[in-house]
Amino acid sequence: MHLHNRAFYFIVFFLGGVAVQTMLPQSMHGIVVLFAIALLTGAVFYLWNKKVLAMLAGIIILGGLYAQGYEMRNSGFTIPYDIPVEMTGVIQDIAYARENQTVIVEVDGAYRGKIYAKIPRYPEMKYGDKVILTGTVLVPEGGFAGYLKKDGVYGVGTRVSVVRIREHEGNAIKEKLFRIKHASEQVLSRALPVEHAAFVSGLLFGETAAMSKEFKDALKRTGTTHLIALSGYNITIIAGGILFIAGFFLKRKWRFIVAITAITLFVIMTGAAASVVRAAIMGGILLLANVVDRPYSLRNTLAVSAFVMVAQNPFILVYDIGFQLSFLAVFGIAYLAPRLETFLRFKEESGFLHWRENLLNTIAAQAAVFPLLLLRFDFVSLTSVITNMLVLPIIPITMFFGFLMLCASIFSLYFAQAIGLITHIFSGYAITIIEFTSSFSFGISVNSIGILLAVALIAGIIGVHYIKKNIWRVIKG
Residue 475 has a pLDDT of 44
Task: Say whether 87 sits in a helix, a strand or coil.
Answer: strand
Instruction: Please write the tens of the pLDDT for every residue from 208-224.
Output: 777 888 888 888 888 78
- Where is mean pLDDT largest: 264-268, 293-297, 386-390? 386-390
Give the Å distances, CA to CA, from 100 to 84, 156, 177. 22, 16, 22
Provide the 10 A C-beta neighbour count for residue 328.
20
Instruction: Give the Cα separation of 87 and 83 in Å (integer).
Output: 12
The structure's pTM equals 0.71
Ramachandran bin of 159, using left for φ above 0, alpha for ψ from -120 to 50, beta for the remaining angles: left
Q: In the chain, which segments carry CATH 2.40.50.140?
A: 84-170
Q: Dihedral of CA 174/179/182/185: which sign?
A: negative
Instruction: Please write the tens of the pLDDT for every residue from 91-117.
Output: 988 887 778 888 999 998 888 889 999
Mean per-residue pLDDT, 186-193 = 88
Give the Å distances, CA to CA, from 250 to 31, 253, 291, 381. 53, 8, 13, 45
State yes or no: pLDDT of 380 exceeds 70.
Answer: no
> Which of 265, 274, 204 is closest to 237 using CA atoms?
204
Confidence grade of residue 348 (pLDDT, cut at 50, 70, 90)? low
More confident residue, 379 or 372: 372
Distance, CA of 446 to chain centre:
22
CATH 1.20.1600.10 fits 84-170, yes or no: no
> Which of 231, 438, 235 is closest to 321 using CA atoms?
231
The per-residue pLDDT of the chain, averaged, comes to 78
Confidence grade of residue 35 (pLDDT, cut at 50, 70, 90)? confident
Strand runs labelled E in 109-196: 113-120, 130-138, 153-166
In the chain, the amino acid numbered 279 is A
Instruction: Give the Cα separation of 346 and 67 in Å (integer).
Output: 45
Instruction: Give the Cα separation of 42 and 48 in Å (integer).
Output: 10
Residue 424 has a pLDDT of 93
Are 57 and 76 in contact, with CB atoms under 8 Å apart?
A: no
3-state secondary structure 300-362: HHHHHHHHHHHHHCCCHHHHCHHHHHHHHHHHHHHHHHHHHHHHHCCCCCCCHHHHHHHHHHH
Instruction: Please write the tens of the pLDDT for every residue from 272-330.
Output: 665 667 667 766 766 666 666 666 667 777 888 888 888 888 988 888 877 787 778 77
